[in-house]
């Protein structure tokens, strides 16, 4: 499974999801459960209006490529980039993504437990 961070109001169940990044960089940014905290902490620290979309890559109808982040992660971490709109049938679940008290992010417990 791969994860996408979005504002809760940007996701409409049952509709294709097409974030602005498709027009600006040509793909949708994703992470995996072990790395989702990296972009969350860097780009969204302290935000309380976030949602995680949990997506099954096998259900996508567009290409997924594992590539360097922008800027590249110092540890060489690669991230999944999805090259097209997200078909709602590929979204397996959604999860509120609140920050911890210090503003940092951690994988929600239900996902850490394999949910």
Give residue 115's pLDDT: 55
Q: What are the structural domain ranges in the chain?
A: 2-102
Please tell us whether the domain made up of 2-102 is placed in CATH 1.10.760.10: no
Q: What is the pLDDT along the chain (115 residues), one digit of tens a residue?
A: 999 999 999 999 999 999 999 999 999 999 999 999 999 999 999 999 999 999 999 999 999 999 998 777 777 889 999 999 999 999 999 999 999 999 999 999 888 876 5
Give residue 110's pLDDT: 87
Q: Which two tokens stand for residue 19?
A: 């974030």
Contact 15, 65 (CB under 8 A): no
Give residue 114's pLDDT: 66
Angle subtended at Cα 59 by Cα 73 and Cα 26, rounded to the nearest 5 degrees: 45
Give residue 17's pLDDT: 96
Does the predicted TM-score (pTM) go above 0.85? yes
Give the 3-state secondary structure of 42-82: HHHCCCCCEEEEEECHHHCCCCEEEEECCCCCCCCCEEEEE
């Amino acid at each position: 499974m791969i994860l996408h961070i979005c504002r809760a109001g940007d996701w409409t169940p049952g509709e294709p999801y097409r974030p602005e990044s498709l027009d600006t960089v040509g793909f949708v940014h994703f992470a995996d459960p072990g790395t989702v905290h990296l972009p969350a902490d860097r780009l969204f620290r302290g935000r309380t209006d976030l949602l995680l979309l949990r997506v099954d890559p096998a259900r996508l109808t567009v290409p997924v490529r594992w590539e360097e982040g922008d800027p590249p992660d110092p540890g060489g971490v690669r991230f999944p980039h999805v090259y097209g709109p997200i078909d709602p049938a590929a979204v397996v679940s959604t999860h509120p993504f609140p920050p911890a008290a210090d503003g940092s992010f951690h994988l929600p417990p239900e996902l850490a437990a394999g949910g």
